Amino acid sequence: MKYLLMLSLLLSSFAYSQQPTVKGKVTDQNNDPIPYVSVLAQETGKGTTTDDQGNFTLNIAQAGSYTLNFSAIGFKTLPKKVQIEENQQLELSVVLYESMEQLNEVVITSNRTRETLDEVPSSVSVLSSKQVETLAQTSNSVADVLTEIPGISLSSNRTSSTGQTLRGRNMLILIDGIPQSTPLRKGGRDINTIDPSSIERIEVIKGATAIYGNGADGGIVNYITKKPKANKKLESTTIVGSEGSLVAINNTVGSRITQTFSGHLDKLRYVASGSFRQTGVHKDANGEVISPFYGLGETSQYSLFGKVNYSITDSQSIELMYNYFSSNQDSRYIPQVGVYGETATIGVLGEDLGEDQGNRYNHNVQLTYDYNQIFHNTDFRLNLYSQDFRTVYGYTDSFYNPELGYDGGQSSIISSKKGARFNFKTSYNIGNLTGDLLYGLDALNDKTAQELMDGRSWVPEMDMNNLAPYAQLKTRYGNFVLKAGIRFENIKIEIPDYTTLERYSVGETTPNSGGVAIEGGELDYNATTFNVGLRYNKWNTFKPFVSFSQSFSIADLGRILRDATENTVSQINSEAVIANNYEVGFNSHLGETRFSGAYFISTSDLGSTYRESESGAFEILRQPEKVYGFEFSMDTEILRNLNFGTSVSHTEGKIDSNDDGDYNNYMGGDRIPPMKIVSYLSYQWQDKFDIRLSHIYSGNRDRFEPDYTYGKGPVDSINITNLTTNYQLSPSTKLGLGIKNLFNNDYYNVISQWNARDSNYIKANGTQFNISLTVNL
């Protein structure tokens, strides 16, 4: 840390010597601040972005005349000429006006600093507040909202997100940068941990990355919560709605209410919301009740969210965020198991044993302190955060234990995280080179365990401490942008002495596995990960980039521990996975048409693919892996206010089962999805009416012999059409309607097909409606 600070002071000494500075605030025509506005000095190529309150500071190399371009999504670009003298601090007030055009200017904040797309030499996708709201109209969960993003697999339409990967690898889920995933014991419940009504935008950084630590082999998905932006002391938004099936509607209708308050009092801004949603029975295209196994029907969901921001001075602010989410299923139905490949598993009336399943609770708290220009050209940010999470799985007789008197049981994953991030950013200007150095230190404590609801321990509590210094350099030279970074992972995991859970076949009195006494100990993981990327921005028609990045992850240590047969932790094969991501891509802007594309290869010497053993238990394969594929997307304005877009995602993956350099076995469907093509057509009339028709095509994938096991079932193609529309009844009232699976297509979810199990052979929902009324006061 000492050396990083010294390096920062050295760089800033080059840049700070009596530099002229432009400071100001950017607002819209209603005087509301606009965050994430790109401010670019045309003559030097140097730029910055506005903060949450629309404020910006831009250091100019030397006195003279400059043209500053102000641009943001949904606003007209404003060029502003300024004359600045030596040592002057020029103050500006800038007003941007709304535009229906989609600017080729995307701002990414998940890289720990605000950056425009032109500064990022890698693939990213951003869903704006409007896009999240639109996609949520035809979604059963936030996992569905992600479905249209290139590279992300289709959702499972269940509480579990198993199989919903990013570029064929696990993705790290974040809420405002707080990890939601439980990589020490992957439970597949991390994606559905927030209500869409709390989300301002979603940022997806694709490809291996270590910027947030353990578990981002495929990239990160960051749910960025709503920000206090109200211009009045008190503003209110009320949303009431109803949803249900349009096929055999009986018992399917649910309801929803969301209430949001926001406002500002001098230097304090706030936003707070609460929502309640109750879903009815889910039915397939034929009106059959869908199996409640890990289902989203008959659930009660609660969400509370609040954020308060206080401006201490012009350069200092503090923000407190809290988010709570809970979703629990209380079903009157039980599964009637079908036959894989022949008949579906459906729901029939009956008494479900055990407690309600679902994400019992998810608490997230974060305190953020910002000090701009803490010294010279250096900004400082401190994040202190905490997450408490518990999820409960369904009842199963696989936990039968006659000695203890248990007919079965249900498991639960409990995870608690506490962390701190110290983040510095120093801008520099050395001759023709401009840029900044991002550096700091991450500290994280993660305690995760898996236990049965009756108190039996399945996975002992793993206590992980992670300390990781890092540095990221960004340099601009002419039309080139070079980024390079390094991160040092230092992880220690303490595991207590424990005995593996005894497992019995139903009716037997002798255990068939478990009961092994394991001597605990400490596991150490130390790794250095790198990234480097280059982007060229001379032509709007073609902006290419190339990059290399690495990630670090521990391959589901909890699953390894619970099935351990060695008598000491030190003998267990738990070596971490280092994934290497190679990528080449481009962005283009031709008139009203935007293109982007990328080709990627991701390799790792060790794998984390699951294999089902003869006993039915899961093993983790540690053989080398290679995942590769491409993505392409296009958006264009066909006519005024009529837009069309499409994207194609293709991913494939193989395992080197003999560790001889020959990748001879395909990966299963739990990792590798079929090809996905998403297309949409949208129209907006004035500010009163909009309509959007989207189509999702998921192709077929059949890579394995007919003796199917977990992950190896053949997948048939799927076609899904969704419709959303909104009508502004008055300036303060809006009516919305969403129709999911518009043509009532009868199909099995992708996970139902590749899972290759009778109990999981479950159909998707038939046509569903979602109607809502929004009132703003």
Which domains does the chain carry?
219-409+419-432+470-776 (2.40.170.20)
In single-letter form, the type of residue at position 668 comes to: G
How far apart are alpha carbons 618 and 306 in whole angstroms? 40
Is the model's pLDDT at 7 over the cut of 50?
no
Of the pLDDT bands very low, low, confident and very high (cuts 50, 70, 90), residue 228 is confident
Mean pLDDT of 188-197: 92
Nearest to 188 by CA among 761, 745, 755, 772: 755
Mean pLDDT of 456-462: 94
Can you give the pLDDT at residue 497? 93
Instruction: Please indicate whether residue 446 or residue 562 has the higher confidence score (pLDDT).
Output: 446
Q: The tokens of 368 are what?
A: 């953020």
The overall average pLDDT reported for the chain is 88
Is the model's pLDDT at 385 over the cut of 50?
yes
Rounded to two decimals, the pTM is: 0.87
Is the model's pLDDT at 613 over the cut of 60?
no
Contact 173, 180 (CB under 8 A): yes
Instruction: Please indicate whether residue 381 or residue 99 has the higher confidence score (pLDDT).
Output: 381
Mean pLDDT of 517-546: 92
DSSP 352-419: PPSSPEEEEEEEEEEEEEEEEEEETTEEEEEEEEEEEEEEEPPPBGGG-BTTTTBS-B-EEEEEEEEE
Is the model's pLDDT at 18 over the cut of 60?
no
How do residues 470-500 score in pLDDT, each as one tens digit?
Answer: 999 999 998 999 999 999 999 999 999 999 9
Is the model's pLDDT at 15 over the cut of 50?
no
Can you give the pLDDT at residue 73? 66
Is the model's pLDDT at 366 over the cut of 70?
yes
Is the model's pLDDT at 525 over the cut of 80?
yes
**CA distances to 178, 189, 653 from 206, in Å:** 18, 20, 16
Cα Rg of the chain (Å, integer): 26
Mean pLDDT of 377-383: 92
Is the model's pLDDT at 173 over the cut of 80?
yes
How do residues 86-142 score in pLDDT, each as one tens digit?
Answer: 877 888 889 887 664 443 456 677 778 878 888 889 999 999 888 999 999 999 899
Mean pLDDT of 455-463: 94
Contact 253, 243 (CB under 8 A): yes
Can you give the pLDDT at residue 103? 39
Can you give the pLDDT at residue 713? 93
Of the pLDDT bands very low, low, confident and very high (cuts 50, 70, 90), residue 610 is low
Can you give the pLDDT at residue 76? 75
Nearest to 396 by CA among 300, 282, 505: 505
Can you give the pLDDT at residue 152? 95
Mean pLDDT of 242-253: 95
Is the model's pLDDT at 16 over the cut of 70?
no
Q: Is 422 exposed, middle or buried (0-12, 13-18, 19+ CB in 10 A)?
A: middle
Nearest to 347 by CA among 283, 269, 274, 437: 283
- Partners of 442 in beta bridges: 421, 468
Angle among Cα 165, 171, 177 to the nearest 5 degrees reads: 145
Can you give the pLDDT at residue 99? 60
Is the model's pLDDT at 295 over the cut of 50?
yes
Question: What region, left, alpha or beta, does residue 355 occupy, with left being phi > 0 and alpha being psi -120 to 50 degrees?
Answer: beta
Contact 352, 207 (CB under 8 A): no
Mean pLDDT of 231-259: 93
- Percent pLDDT > 70 in the chain is 93
Of the pLDDT bands very low, low, confident and very high (cuts 50, 70, 90), residue 11 is very low
How do residues 654-669 score in pLDDT, each as one tens digit?
Answer: 998 888 888 889 999 9
Instruction: Please indicate whether residue 106 or residue 542 has the higher confidence score (pLDDT).
Output: 542
How far apart are alpha carbons 71 and 51 in whole angstroms? 14
Residues in the chain: 777
Instruction: Please indicate whether residue 715 or residue 28 has the higher confidence score (pLDDT).
Output: 715
Can you give the pLDDT at residue 611? 55
Mean pLDDT of 455-482: 94
Lowest mean pLDDT among 44-58, 229-243, 517-531, 624-638: 44-58
